[in-house]
C-alpha cells in the first residue's frame, strides 16, 4: 500500500491544532508553578467556571463586549479570594499540601459553579460572537465554518485564530516574566518564598496577581475549548490531558508548554491512527499521551525545557 | 489522666518493641476487635453492613495501599483506581477459570501479587523521574487499566458492561454446604473483609517498624541521602510499589466482591483515585490508622450531609443543590484541614491523646 501523504499531513496538522489547545491549558499551569511552585490542579475547574460565567452572561442577553470584561473581573476577584483565604494561610507549607489544597479548591469550584449556574451542557458559538463583535453586518463572516485550503487540506480558520491567540499570550507572558519588575519578583518568589519575603517582595500581592492572571488565561482557554467541546464537565478533563504536556515541556517553561502541546497533539493522533492499526485495537488515545510523556521523561527527567534539578544532601 | 502510661516500665528490648507498649492501648484495641467480630454481625442491620461497614473496609484497604506509597515512601500516585481495577478483574478471572479448590482469600492474594507486579512495571520510571513528574506514570497506569479491560472483553467473560458476581465464589472449603450457612450473606462478607483488612493492616504496621519500613521513610525524606548511607533506593522503591499495589488490588477486589457485588469498568474511573487520595490526605499521610480515619470521614461525609440536608430542610431544596453544596463544603473542609492541621486526622488524634493524658491539669 502506498503511503498516503496527504492523509498524513492532514493528521499532522490536526494534531498540531489540538496541541495548541492543550498548550493553552498548560500555560495556566506553568504560570502558577513558576511563581509559587504549586502544581495547580484547579486549573481545569477554573476553565469550566470562567467559561460557564461567560456563557450564562451571554445567554442572559448580555453582549459580547460586556460579558468578556465582566467574566474577566470575576476571575480577578476569584484570584484575590484564593490568595487571601487559601494561599496566605498555607504559605511555607510542603508542596504536597499545597497541591492537595488545589485539589480541594477544584472540588469547591466545581460545586460552586454548578450551584451558581447549572450542570447542563451549554453550547458556545464563540465563532458567531467573534464575527458579530468584529464585523457588524451579520452576513459577513470570518470564523463561522470557514476554512483555508492548503495542499488539499482544509484548515479551520478558527484553529488558526486559536493559534494566534496562544502565540500572543506566550509573547506577552515571556516579556512580562523577563522584562518587568513584577515578572522578576514572580521569579524570585518561585525560587524561595522565604528569601523573597526577606528582600521585601510583597508575597501576598504577587500571588494575588498570579492567580488573577491565571484566571484570565483560564477564561481565554475555556472559551476556545468551549467552541470545540461545549461548556460542560468535559472541560475539567482538559487538565488531565494537559498534564503530560506540561511535564514534557518542563513545569517551569512557557515555551515548553507550547512544544509539549504540539508533541502530544501530533503524537496522540499519529499513535491512534498508525499504532492503533498496527496492534488492531482502537482507543489507545486515552493512555498513549502518557506513554509519550514517559518516554521523553526517561531521557530528560525534568522535561525538555524544565529547570534542571540539582540535588544535594 | 483518662489515658495514661504511668506505671508502665519497660525493662527489656523485647518489651520496648511491642506493638502496643501501653496496656491501655492493648486492651482497648483487643476490646474493639472483639466488638467488631462478635457483636457487630449480630446487631448491625444489612443496611449498615452493606452500605457503611463493608465499603469502609474495602476503601480502607486501598487507602492504606496508597498511604504506603505516598505517605511512607513519598511517591505520588494518581493511579489507585487503575490498580484496584487490575486486582478486581484478576480476582474474578482466577475464581472463574480455576478448579474447584480455589477459594476467595487465596484468589485475592494471587490477584494482589499480580497487581503488585504490574505496579512494579508502572513504578519503574520512578528510578529516574521524581516528584510531580511521576504523576505521568501513575496516570498511564490508570488509563491503561481502563482501556485494557474495555478492549479485551475476555476478562469480563464477554459480558456487555457488568458481571454480577456469583454467590458460590464466596464459599470457603464447602463450609456453606456442610453447615448450611449462607456464605454470601452480608455478615459473612463483612467478616471476610474484616479478616483480610485486619491481617493487611497488621502486616503494614509491622512492615513500617522493620528495617524495610525505615528504608521506605528514608527514601521519602530524601532519596539522595538514603542512597549515600547505603539504602538500596531502587529496590526500596520497587518494593513500595509492589506492596502498595498489592493492597490496592486486594482493596479493589473487596470493593467489587464484598460491596458492589458486580464487576464493571466504570467502578474504577479517575474520580475513584481522587477519592482515595483524599482519604489518605485527610486521614494523615504516613499513618496507618489515619488511612481508616480518612476513609470513614470521606465516605460518610456526603451521606451525612445529604441526610442532614433532608432532615433539616425536609426536601425544600432539590438533591442537585444539596449535592453541590456538599461539594463546596467538602472542598472547604479539605482546605481548612490542610491549613489547620497538615498532618490530617491522625495528627488531631495524637493531639487529643496528649490532652487526655494531661487532663485535668494541662500544665
CA distance A266 to A262: 6
User: Across the strands, what pairs with B160?
Assistant: none
Q: What is the DSSP letter of B341?
A: -
Tell me how far apart the alpha carbons of residues B260 and B267 are, in angstroms, rounded to a whole number.
Answer: 9
Q: Which of A58-62, A264-268, B236-240 has the lowest mean pLDDT?
A: A58-62
- What's the pLDDT score for residue A155? 67
Taking the C-alpha atoms of residue B229 and residue B233, their distance in angstroms, rounded to an integer, is: 10
* Cα-based torsion angle of the residue sequence B110, B113, B117, B122 in order, rounded to the nearest 10 degrees: 110
pLDDT higher for A6 or B304?
B304
Residue A114 has pLDDT above 90, yes or no: no
Give which of B143, B231, B274 to mutate to test A binding, by max A Cβ within 10 Å. Answer: B143
Peptide bond into A225 cis (omega under 30): no
Burial B272-311 (b: 16+ CB within 10 A, else e): bbbbbbbbbbbbbbbbbebbbbbbbbbbebeeebeeebee
pLDDT in tens, B289-303: 999 999 999 999 888
Q: Is the pLDDT of residue A140 over 50?
A: no
Query: Does residue A302 contact residue A250 with C-beta atoms inside 8 Å?
Result: yes
**A232 in contact with B, Cβ within 8 Å:** no
B38: which DSSP letter?
Answer: I
Q: Which grid cell sits at B213?
A: 519500613
- pLDDT of residue A138 exceeding 60, the answer is no
Asked if residue B46 has pLDDT above 80, the reply is yes
Please report the residues numbered 59 through 118 in chain B whose beta carbons come closer than 8 angstroms to any beta carbon of chain A.
Answer: 76
Instruction: Give the residue on B whose Cα is nearest the Cα of A279.
Output: B151
Q: What is the pLDDT of residues B214-261, one digit of tens each?
A: 999 999 998 899 999 999 999 999 999 999 999 999 999 999 999 988
Answer whether residue B202 shows pLDDT above 80: yes
Q: Is the pLDDT of residue B30 over 60?
A: yes
Collapsing DSSP states into helix, strand and coil, what is residue B128? coil
On the question of pLDDT at A205 being above 50, the answer is yes
Question: Is B68 or A124 the better-scoring residue by pLDDT?
Answer: B68
Mean pLDDT for B333-337 is: 87
Band (A245; pLDDT cuts 50, 70, 90):
confident
For chain B, give the mean pLDDT. Answer: 88
User: Does the structure show a pLDDT above 80 at A121?
Assistant: no
Q: Determine, for residues A243 and B136 on separate chains, whether the beta-carbon distance falls below 8 Å.
A: yes
What span, in angstroms and rounded, lies between the C-alpha atoms of B248 and B87?
Answer: 7
Distance CA B91, CA B256 (A): 10
Nearest CA in chain B to A100: B281
Q: Which residues of A touch B125 (CB under 8 A)?
A: 294, 297-298
Q: Cα–Cα distance between B330 and B339 in angstroms, integer?
A: 14
Mean pLDDT over each residue of chain A, to the nearest integer: 78
pLDDT at A136: 47
Find which of B105-114, B154-163, B280-289 is predicted with most confidence, using mean pLDDT. Answer: B105-114
Residue A155 φ then ψ, to 5° = -115, 125
Residue A22 near residue A15 (C-beta atoms within 8 A):
no
The residue ranking higher by pLDDT, B182 or A112, is: A112
Count CA atoms within 13 Å of residue B148 on its CB side.
15
Nearest to A114 among B285, B324, B334 (CB): B324
Give residues 167 to 196 of A whose Cβ lies within 8 Å of B: none
Residues 6+ apart with CB under 8 A from A203: A91, A189, A193, A196, A197
Of A183 and A278, the one with more pLDDT: A183
Name which of A172, A176, A252 is nearest A260 in CA terms. A252
Name which of A310, A265, A256 is nearest A288 in CA terms.
A265
Chain A residues in contact with B222 (beta carbon < 8 A): 313
Is ipTM strictly over 0.85? no
Residue A131 reports pLDDT greater than 60: no
Closest alpha carbon to B136 in B150, B123, B146, B149: B123
User: Which among A115, A245, A272, A291 is the top mutation candidate for probing chain B, defined by the most B β-carbons within 10 Å of its own β-carbon?
Assistant: A115
Mean pLDDT of A95-118: 83
Contacts of A93 in chain B (CB under 8 A): 338, 342
Highest mean pLDDT, choosing among A51-60, A81-90, A139-148, B221-230? B221-230
Alpha carbon separation from A31 to A11, A27, A92, B266 (Å, rounded): 30, 6, 19, 34
- Check residue A139 and give its pLDDT: 46
Going B35 to B38 to B39 to B41, the CA torsion angle's sign is positive
Interface of A with B in 79-98 (CB under 8 A): 85-86, 89-90, 93-94, 96-97
Comparing A251 with B260, which gets the higher pLDDT? B260
Q: Give the integer Cα–Cα distance in Å for B77 and B79.
A: 6
Inform me whether the C-beta atom of residue A37 falls under 8 Å from chain B C-beta atoms: no
pLDDT number for residue A9: 78
For residues B138 and B77, is the Cβ–Cβ distance under 8 A? yes
Q: Is the dihedral of CA B138, B261, B298, B218 positive or negative?
A: negative
Query: Is-contact B222 B57, C-beta < 8 A?
Result: no
- Residue extents of the structural domains in chain B: 40-268
Residue A260: list chain B partners with CB under 8 A: none
The size of the A-B interface in CB pairs under 8 A is: 130
Q: Tell me, what's the pLDDT at A23?
A: 84
> What residues of A are in contact with residue B319 (Cβ under 8 Å)?
none
Band of the pLDDT at A152, cuts 50, 70, 90? low
B338 touches chain A (CB under 8 A): yes
Burial class, B230, CB count within 10 angstroms (exposed 0-12 / middle 13-18 / buried 19+): exposed
Do A304 and A292 touch, CB atoms closer than 8 A? no
- Considering only CA atoms, which of B198, B302, B257, B248 is closest in space to residue B80? B248
pLDDT band for position B2 (50/70/90)?
low
Question: Tell me, what's the pLDDT at B201?
Answer: 95
According to CATH, what is the number of the domain A5-299?
1.10.3470
Percent of chain A with pLDDT over 90: 1
Q: How far apart (Å, rounded) are the C-alpha atoms in residues A13 and B163?
A: 42
Contact A101 B320 (CB under 8 A): no
CB contact under 8 A, B137 and A290: yes
Provide the H-helix boundaries in B124-263.
135-151, 175-179, 186-208, 211-221, 223-228, 233-254
Query: What does the DSSP assignment read for B218-241?
Result: HHHH-HHHHHHTT--HHHHHHHHH
- State how far the Cα of A44 lies from the Cα of A222, in Å rounded to an integer: 9
Percentage with pLDDT > 70 across chain B: 96
Higher pLDDT, residue A219 or B7: A219
Cα(B225)–Cα(B339) distance, rounded to whole angstroms? Answer: 29
Q: Are B263 and B89 in contact (CB under 8 A)?
A: yes
Tell me which H or E stretch contains B117: helix B104-123
From residue B24, how far is each of A215, B2, B30, B361 by CA, in Å? 53, 10, 10, 20
Confidence (pTM): 0.88
Amino acid at each position: 500500500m502506498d503511503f498516503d501523504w496527504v492523509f498524513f499531513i492532514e493528521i499532522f496538522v490536526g494534531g498540531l491544532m489540538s496541541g495548541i489547545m492543550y498548550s493553552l491549558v498548560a500555560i495556566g499551569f506553568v504560570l502558577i508553578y513558576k511563581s509559587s511552585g504549586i502544581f495547580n490542579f484547579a486549573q481545569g475547574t477554573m476553565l469550566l467556571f470562567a467559561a460557564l460565567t461567560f456563557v450564562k452572561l451571554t445567554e442572559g442577553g448580555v453582549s459580547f463586549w460586556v460579558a468578556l470584561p465582566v467574566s474577566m473581573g470575576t476571575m480577578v476577584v476569584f484570584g484575590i479570594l484564593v490568595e487571601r483565604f487559601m494561599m496566605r494561610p498555607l504559605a511555607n507549607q510542603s508542596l504536597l499540601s499545597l497541591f492537595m489544597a488545589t485539589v480541594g479548591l477544584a472540588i469547591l469550584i466545581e460545586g460552586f459553579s454548578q450551584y451558581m449556574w447549572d450542570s447542563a451542557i451549554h453550547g458556545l458559538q464563540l465563532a458567531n460572537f467573534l464575527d458579530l463583535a468584529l464585523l457588524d453586518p451579520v452576513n459577513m463572516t470570518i470564523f463561522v465554518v470557514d476554512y483555508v485550503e492548503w495542499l488539499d487540506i482544509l484548515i479551520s480558520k478558527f484553529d488558526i485564530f486559536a493559534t494566534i491567540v496562544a502565540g500572543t499570550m506566550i509573547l506577552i507572558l515571556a516579556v512580562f516574566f523577563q522584562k518587568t519588575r513584577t515578572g522578576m519578583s514572580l521569579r524570585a518568589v518561585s525560587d524561595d518564598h522565604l528569601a523573597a519575603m526577606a528582600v521585601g517582595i510583597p508575597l501576598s500581592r504577587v500571588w494575588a496577581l498570579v492567580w488573577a492572571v491565571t484566571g484570565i488565561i483560564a477564561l481565554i482557554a475555556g472559551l476556545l475549548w468551549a467552541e470545540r467541546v461545549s461548556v460542560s464537565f468535559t472541560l475539567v478533563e482538559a487538565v488531565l490531558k494537559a498534564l503530560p504536556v506540561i511535564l514534557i515541556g518542563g513545569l517551569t517553561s512557557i515555551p515548553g508548554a507550547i512544544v509539549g502541546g504540539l508533541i502530544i497533539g501530533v503524537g496522540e493522533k499519529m499513535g491512534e491512527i498508525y499504532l492503533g492499526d498496527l496492534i488492531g485495537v482502537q482507543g489507545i488515545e486515552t493512555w498513549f499521551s502518557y506513554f509519550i510523556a514517559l518516554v521523553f521523561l526517561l531521557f530528560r527527567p525534568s522535561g525538555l525545557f524544565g529547570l534542571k534539578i540539582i540535588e544535594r544532601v | 489522666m483518662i489515658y495514661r502510661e504511668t506505671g508502665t516500665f519497660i525493662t527489656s528490648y523485647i518489651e520496648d518493641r511491642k506493638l502496643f507498649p501501653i496496656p491501655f492501648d492493648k486492651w482497648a484495641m483487643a476490646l474493639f476487635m472483639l466488638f467488631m467480630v462478635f457483636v457487630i454481625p449480630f446487631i448491625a442491620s444489612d443496611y449498615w453492613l452493606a452500605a457503611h461497614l463493608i465499603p469502609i473496609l474495602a476503601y480502607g484497604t486501598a487507602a492504606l495501599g496508597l498511604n504506603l506509597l505516598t505517605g511512607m515512601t513519598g511517591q505520588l500516585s494518581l493511579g489507585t483506581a487503575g490498580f484496584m481495577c487490575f486486582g478486581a478483574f484478576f480476582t474474578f478471572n482466577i475464581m472463574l477459570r480455576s478448579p474447584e479448590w480455589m477459594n476467595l482469600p487465596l484468589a485475592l492474594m494471587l490477584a494482589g501479587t499480580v497487581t503488585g507486579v504490574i505496579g512494579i512495571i508502572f513504578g519503574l520510571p520512578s528510578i529516574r523521574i521524581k516528584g510531580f513528574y511521576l504523576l505521568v506514570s501513575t496516570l498511564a497506569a490508570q488509563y491503561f487499566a481502563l482501556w485494557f479491560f474495555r478492549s479485551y472483553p475476555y476478562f469480563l467473560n464477554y459480558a456487555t458492561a457488568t458481571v454480577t458476581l456469583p454467590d458460590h465464589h464466596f464459599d470457603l472449603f464447602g463450609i456453606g454446604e456442610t453447615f448450611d450457612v449462607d456464605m454470601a450473606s452480608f455478615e459473612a462478607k463483612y467478616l471476610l473483609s474484616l479478616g483480610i483488612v485486619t491481617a493487611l493492616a497488621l502486616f503494614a504496621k509491622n512492615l513500617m517498624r522493620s528495617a524495610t519500613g525505615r528504608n521506605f521513610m528514608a527514601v521519602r525524606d530524601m532519596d539522595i541521602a538514603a542512597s549515600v548511607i547505603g539504602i538500596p533506593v531502587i529496590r526500596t522503591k520497587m518494593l513500595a510499589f509492589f506492596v502498595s499495589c498489592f493492597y490496592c488490588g486486594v482493596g479493589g477486589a473487596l470493593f467489587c466482591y464484598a460491596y458492589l457485588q458486580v464487576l464493571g469498568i466504570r467502578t474504577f474511573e479517575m474520580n475513584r483515585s481522587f477519592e482515595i487520595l483524599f482519604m489518605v490526605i485527610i486521614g494523615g499521610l504516613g499513618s496507618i490508622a489515619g488511612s481508616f480515619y480518612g476513609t470513614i470521614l470521606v465516605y460518610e461525609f456526603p451521606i451525612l450531609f445529604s441526610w442532614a440536608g433532608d432532615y433539616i430542610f425536609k426536601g425544600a431544596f432539590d438533591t442537585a443543590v444539596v449535592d453541590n453544596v456538599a461539594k463546596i463544603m467538602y472542598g472547604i473542609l479539605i482546605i481548612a484541614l490542610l491549613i489547620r492541621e497538615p498532618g490530617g486526622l491522625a495528627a488531631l488524634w495524637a493531639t487529643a491523646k496528649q490532652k487526655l493524658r494531661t487532663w485535668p491539669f494541662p500544665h
